[in-house]
Structure 1
Amino acid sequence: MFATGSRSTVVAGHDAVVRPTFDGHATLDLGPYIPSFRLPTGTRLGAAIDLGATELDSYEALIERYAFIASQPEGQVAKVRATIADLALDSAVLGAVIGLAGPALVLLVGWSRWRELTHPWTLRRTALAGMSAVVLLAAGLVVRDDQVPPVESGDWVPLQEALPDLDVPAEAASLEVESGLMTTGTRRLVESALDTYRTSLDFYRELVEAAPVLASQLRQPEEGEVVGLLVSDRHDNVGMDPVARAVADAGGATFLLDAGDDTSTGSSWESFSLESLAEAFGDYDDRYGIAGNHDNGDFVTDRLDELGFTTLDGEVVDGPEGIRLLGVSDVRSSGLGSWRDERGVTFEEQSTRLADLACERDADGERISTLLVHDANSARVALERGCVDLVLAGHLHVQVGPTPVVGENGRTGYTYTNGTTGGAAYALAIGSKLRRDAEVSLVTYRDGRPAGIQPVVVRTTGEYEVGDWTPLQLDDIAATEDVRE
């Protein structure tokens, strides 16, 4: 049942087991060599989170990751809440099934046979016995203060008391630590974590607070236009997610385009990165994504699906306001879309197949507005044939374009590569600050077709640089059809 149940999941990059508690704290057990931490939840309901295996092999790197995620915890907090809620729902269903087991058995064997088998029992007693499980479940789900046994006080002290020489940030004032394991070595680890936490928190928070001022520099959507935010190559930098959302709000964006490489390896321990992005744009109805070459395996696309994203898989999708989208994950990951089961598909074969599909739809009068890929070279053939309006990509970690390409059929399309949204150097972006300049791009659509692009760069110094809005001069579809005829 709920009170004694647990769920296995991934939290903060670890295999983890989450259990409900009634001590009013969220407690993080970091293992035998690092002190545990806990925070008050503000209610009687709490959670015990036991962390298991992870990919890192040094405590220093591990502590840095903890501190970085803690500075942007919304995705992980939402995940733990959802895990507890899921456990409660499953327990409720199980309790209801148990409660209905008695009446169901009566119907199965028949009333006369049931009376023979349960001679001393009455129908009222049978119903009461069947409902007892539901009552017990309700008692477990809604626990009053006077029903909870007193929690034994452990050796918990406020972090500031455990480390009196350190300046603990106000955001961590309610954090308590298990003092029994505070050795000299663990003190150094905690000190390092606090430094990373404080630096990361300040750096990205200041960017979020400064973003609304950008509205006057960003081209706002006019009547009949919609704007999408393009991100790529985040490489686990969850610090940039609220920044990206703040820029999107300042520029009037209402949907998300993710060109891949959200992770560094595509491993399940990087689930926190996907959950952070989902939380930052959780109120968007339209979120589209693909896997990049570093998002190796199926985990990233599967998890994005679970989080409510539309993962483009080699099929045409109708986007918001008449935008027609086509996209596919990088062939160098295993997310090959409709070709997922065909191992050994080459980069060139993928490019040709995308072009064939795009040109087929173009010939049918259903031109592709945007082809979303990780590497722009995947869409080279489609552009050369003149079958798409716009190719959006990432991969290079630097901005390229927008560049017009005149196809063999005389139609003009554009290719545009966004820089690294995570500010990543190679495939690494986790850290208290950006490793290199970060970038997001605002893509304007009018009447279902791309109309312009405006990049926004975040410098490593914590300053914004807003690029010009570049209009996309596309051919008039009706005029082109007249020429063909």
Structure 2
Amino acid sequence: MCLTVGVSSGLAFFLGDSRTVVVASHDAVVTPTFDGKVSLRTGPLLPDVRRASGGPVGVDLVLGKTQTESVEELFARYAFIASEPDSQVAKVSDAVRDMASSAALRGLALGLVPLATWWLLGPHRRGQLFRGVRTRKGVLGGVLLLTVPLFLWQPWASDEDTQEAQGEWEPLETFMAGFPVPEEAAGIEIRNSPTTVQTQRLIQSAVDTYDKSKEFYDAAAEEAESLELNEPDDDETVALVVSDRHDNIGMDRVARAIGDQAGASVVLDAGDDTSTGQPWEAFSLDSLDRTFDDLDRFAVAGNHDNGPFVTDYLDDLGWTMLEEAPVEAPWGGLLLGVDDPRSSGLGNWRDETGLSFTEVGERLADAACDQDGERISTLLVHDANLGREALTRGCVDLVVGGHTHVQDGPTEVLGENGRNGYRITNGTTGGAAYAIAIGSKPRRDADVTLVTYRDGRPVGTQWVRLRTDGVFVIGPYAELGLDEPDEE
């Protein structure tokens, strides 16, 4: 009996549970099912889609709010995310596993209730109850107990016919008859209705974006595995610098392939992973995290990552978000950084909040120079200008930034104390034209930078660029001629 109660209640808890997560740039409600289908319910104006989950457990995804300028832009975003789906699949899978674990625990607790009741009643009271079952009142009580679940279930109740129920599921290949459909879309079904017929052009455009995006980034990631890059020595550590991704999740695996080819074990994120810093862009941060989850990860927020969402989200995912206090770096030196004090959204203004850009730079220099003689190995900021004062005072070996979308450096700076340092600016890893990077390929050249460390200090840098035509350009390995500590 305990097993029956536990299993049945656990299943009921599981099927009645739901989670709200951000998936595919939408607030979405995830509900488990046992129909073996992954169903995406997009709302009254867009077509619902589904495909087999590959097992008995399915899931219903009901999409809620998002931000977009047009339906065309939204479909293009869907296609782009679909070309790099792993992080979103993992997010939904984690939500379903969490609900399953929760339901199992609650079912176990409820299943123990009969056993606990049996034990608490004791033999004398149990005997009285068993004798009472044979009486007329006992029979009546048993019937009532059996009918309570029936009244709660109410199988005789039915919903009115809905517009959704009028639509029929048909294979995407049938719905898009006359247009090519990717092999990966095999098994996808779409709910047909008068509304969805009007969206055929949008779906075809999305399919075209999907094909082009997947083809471009597949080829780039494969070619990156054979690039001739500087090879680190056994006593050297390589960090991969990314910046200004602006939601271009397609470049994530290309950047990772470059990092792997160079032997990188650390990723330094100089910010602007998003375009607006809003929760709908969680898909971009999920992709970033999944791509680099086995590396040492450090980041700062850029001016477009305005608000607390990006910083809090990456922090929850396990990234080390730098906050004006130095941390021990994996290469043995000190790493310092701070979020950009500006916020800009998609506008072209610079809205300084709280401390000004200059004031933050001065405080950052104070923190860099106040280390009891221990020098800052790397200062990670979104805009390299934020580290200008620290370099001027001669307290930093290397300032790493992004922001301008134009690669620059390494540039040597001689400090007031006679110590030299360098600054480098990474281009836009997302290949973004201003704050927009979503598309079938980068909108402009996409850059990453490799920094090599030895004995706790940077000793060389190298940039790698993916052009919009899919051709890689590799910058020369630039050695950094830093002063030795005993030369002070």
Q: TM-score per shorter chain, which class?
A: 0.7 to 0.9
Give the match for residue 232 of structure 1.
243
Between stretches 152-161 and 430-439, larger displacement belongs to 152-161
* Pair 1:221-2:229 in alignment: no
Q: Which of 266, 270, 273 is the aligned partner of 2:277?
A: 266
Give the match for residue 418 of structure 2.
410
Q: What is the letter of the counterpart of residue 373 of structure 2?
A: G
- How do 1:280-299 residues align onto structure 2 when only pairs under 5 Å count? 280-284=291-295, 286-299=296-309
Q: What is the letter of the counterpart of residue 86 of structure 2?
A: E
CA deviation profile, 1:238-268 (whole Å, cap 9, x unmatched): 1111111111111111111100000000000
Q: 1:104 to 1:347 in 2, by over 3 A?
A: farther
Between stretches 93-102 and 233-242, larger displacement belongs to 93-102
CA deviation profile, 1:211-241 (whole Å, cap 9, x unmatched): 1120xx2001111001111000000011111
* Counterpart secondary structure, 1:218: coil
Aligned residues: 435
How many Å apart are 1:352 and its aligned residue? 1.0
8 Å contact 1:458–1:465 — kept in the other structure? yes
8 Å contact 1:236–1:263 — kept in the other structure? yes
Give the match for residue 392 of structure 1.
400
* Pair 1:35-2:47 in alignment: yes
In structure 1, the gaps of 5 or more residues are: 123-151, 335-341
CA distance in 2, matches of 1:312, 1:21: 42
In structure 2, the gaps of 5 or more residues are: 1-12, 131-164, 345-351
Give the match for residue 35 of structure 2.
23
CA distance in 2, matches of 1:324, 1:104: 58
- How do 1:167-316 residues align onto structure 2 when only pairs under 5 Å count? 167-181=180-194, 183-214=196-227, 217-284=228-295, 286-316=296-326
RMSD of aligned alpha carbons: 2.4
Q: 1:184 to 1:46 in 2, by over 3 A?
A: closer
How many Å apart are 1:85 and its aligned residue? 1.4
How many Å apart are 1:347 and its aligned residue? 1.1
- How do 1:346-365 residues align onto structure 2 when only pairs under 5 Å count? 346-361=356-371, 364-365=372-373
CA deviation profile, 1:7-60 (whole Å, cap 9, x unmatched): 011111111000112222211111122211112221111211110111114211
CA distance in 2, matches of 1:91, 1:184: 40
Q: Which of 149, 162, 169 is the aligned partner of 1:156?
A: 169
* Counterpart secondary structure, 1:321: coil
8 Å contact 2:47–2:196 — kept in the other structure? no
* Pair 1:66-2:88 in alignment: no
Q: What is the letter of the counterpart of residue 455 of structure 1?
A: W
Highest Rg: 1 or 2? 2
* Counterpart secondary structure, 1:89: helix
How many Å apart are 1:118 and its aligned residue? 7.4
CA distance in 1, matches of 2:258, 2:31: 37
Give the match for residue 471 of structure 1.
479
Q: What is the letter of the counterpart of residue 198 of structure 1?
A: D
8 Å contact 1:33–1:181 — kept in the other structure? no
How many Å apart are 1:348 and its aligned residue? 1.4
CA distance in 2, matches of 1:100, 1:359: 62
Q: 1:121 to 1:449 in 2, by over 3 A?
A: farther
Q: 1:97 to 1:347 in 2, by over 3 A?
A: farther
How many Å apart are 1:297 and its aligned residue? 0.4
Q: Which of 424, 427, 440 is the aligned partner of 2:432?
A: 424
Q: What is the letter of the counterpart of residue 186 of structure 1?
A: T
Q: 1:370 to 1:118 in 2, by over 3 A?
A: farther
CA distance in 1, matches of 2:116, 2:481: 68
CA distance in 1, matches of 2:301, 2:118: 53
* Pair 1:446-2:454 in alignment: yes
User: How high is the sequence identity, in percent, across the aligned residues?
Assistant: 54
Q: 1:100 to 1:58 in 2, by over 3 A?
A: same
Give the match for residue 348 of structure 2.
none
CA distance in 1, matches of 2:292, 2:375: 28
Q: What is the letter of the counterpart of residue 314 of structure 1?
A: E
Q: What is the letter of the counterpart of residue 178 of structure 1?
A: R
Give the match for residue 369 of structure 1.
377
Between stretches 20-29 and 398-407, larger displacement belongs to 20-29
* Counterpart secondary structure, 1:465: strand
Q: What is the letter of the counterpart of residue 241 of structure 2?
A: L
8 Å contact 1:401–1:417 — kept in the other structure? yes
CA distance in 2, matches of 1:474, 1:189: 55
8 Å contact 1:34–1:181 — kept in the other structure? no
CA deviation profile, 1:375-394 (whole Å, cap 9, x unmatched): 11111111000001100000
Q: What is the letter of the counterpart of residue 270 of structure 2?
A: A
Q: What is the letter of the counterpart of residue 73 of structure 1?
A: P
Q: 1:201 to 1:119 in 2, by over 3 A?
A: same
How many Å apart are 1:92 and its aligned residue? 2.9
CA distance in 2, matches of 1:324, 1:225: 16
Q: Which of 329, 333, 348 is the aligned partner of 1:323?
A: 333
8 Å contact 1:204–1:239 — kept in the other structure? yes
How many Å apart are 1:93 and its aligned residue? 3.3
How many Å apart are 1:90 and its aligned residue? 2.4
Q: What is the letter of the counterpart of residue 193 of structure 1?
A: A
CA distance in 1, matches of 2:205, 2:311: 34
How many Å apart are 1:354 and its aligned residue? 0.8
* Counterpart secondary structure, 2:377: strand
Between stretches 156-165 and 452-461, larger displacement belongs to 156-165
